[in-house]
């Protein structure tokens, strides 16, 4: 086996390299308590031997659909959808400890039972799910990785779009938002030219206007005040 083959095998066994933050400031007391209390019940456990899992099975009660949010930050967006849609199973992927704790506290305060969490790299979770099992996917304000040499770290790549195409049901929505102009162009280009996705925008107003069923977030308001309006991108999985 050549050195290159050894590197490729090691990468396959180790999984994709993760670049994001995993921990920030020390948790506040209430956040720590919610984290300790709720995470064990909400955490999704998928073993190395598991494959082609139906995500509906992660919920104690029957759900009508399963929605996935990749990189939920502090959880504001995911919690809003969980509260507005009690019959929808919401799955959030986020390795940032402080964001997980924030979501746990919000879920506790609102007594939400339709949230499940994967507190690791989303790519490791996605490969475990059965095809055509997700009804909607959100990627909201992901890290723009602005430096050219870091563009390979951006979540949306051809490979991740291939995996999302496998997971999303025909007609399912892929919703993305960013206040970073260069990343917005990247998201449009990568997704528009992927054969599995169709951009639903009919005019500029469609990407400039926040959808009615998308909550305002503190992060988006902060960007707007700084002169960085959010771009809203909705794509549909082709049938």
Q: What is the pLDDT of residue 9?
A: 35
Comparing CA positions, the residue from 165, 133, 157 lying closest to residue 53 is 133
pLDDT digit string, tens, across residues 106-115:
999 999 999 9
| pTM, two decimal places | 0.86
Q: What is the pLDDT of residue 80?
A: 97
Query: Are the beta carbons of 104 and 82 closer than 8 angstroms?
Result: no
Q: Tokens standing for 51?
A: 């494959």
Query: Are the beta carbons of 137 and 166 closer than 8 angstroms?
Result: no
pLDDT digit string, tens, across residues 157-216:
999 999 999 999 999 999 999 999 999 999 999 999 999 999 999 999 999 999 988 888
Q: What is the pLDDT of residue 52?
A: 85
Give the architecture-level CATH label for domain 43-237.
3-Layer(aba) Sandwich (3.40)
Spell out, as residue ranges, where the chain has pLDDT lower than 50: 1-13
Dihedral angle, C-alpha 148, 121, 221, 106, nearest 10 ° = -170
Residue 143 bears catalytic tag: yes
> From CA 230, how far away is CA 210, in angstroms rounded?
8
Q: Which of 5, 48, 50, 143 is an active site residue?
A: 143
Q: What is the pLDDT of residue 13?
A: 39
Q: What is the pLDDT of residue 112?
A: 96
């Amino acid at each position: 086996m050549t050195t290159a083959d050894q590197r490729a095998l090691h990468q396959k066994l180790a999984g994709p390299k993760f670049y994001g933050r995993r921990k920030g400031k020390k948790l506040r007391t209430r956040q720590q308590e919610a984290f300790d209390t709720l995470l064990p019940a909400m955490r999704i456990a998928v073993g190395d031997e598991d494959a082609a899992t139906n995500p509906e099975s992660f919920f104690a009660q029957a759900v009508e659909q399963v929605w996935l949010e990749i990189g939920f930050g502090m959880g504001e967006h995911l919690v809003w959808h969980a509260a507005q849609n009690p019959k929808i199973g919401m799955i959030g992927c986020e390795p940032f400890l402080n964001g997980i704790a924030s979501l746990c506290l919000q879920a506790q305060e609102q007594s939400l039972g339709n949230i499940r969490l994967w507190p690791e790299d989303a790519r490791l979770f996605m490969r475990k799910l059965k095809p055509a099992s997700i009804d909607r996917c959100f990627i909201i304000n992901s890290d723009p990785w602005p430096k050219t040499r870091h563009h390979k770290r951006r979540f949306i790549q051809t490979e991740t779009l291939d995996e999302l195409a496998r997971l999303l049901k025909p007609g399912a929505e892929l919703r993305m938002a960013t206040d970073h102009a260069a990343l917005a162009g990247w998201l449009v280009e990568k997704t528009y030219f992927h054969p599995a996705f169709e951009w639903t925008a009919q005019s500029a107003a469609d990407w400039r206007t926040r959808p009615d069923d998308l909550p305002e977030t503190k992060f988006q308001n902060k960007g707007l005040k700084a002169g960085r309006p959010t771009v809203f991108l909705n794509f549909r999985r082709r049938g």
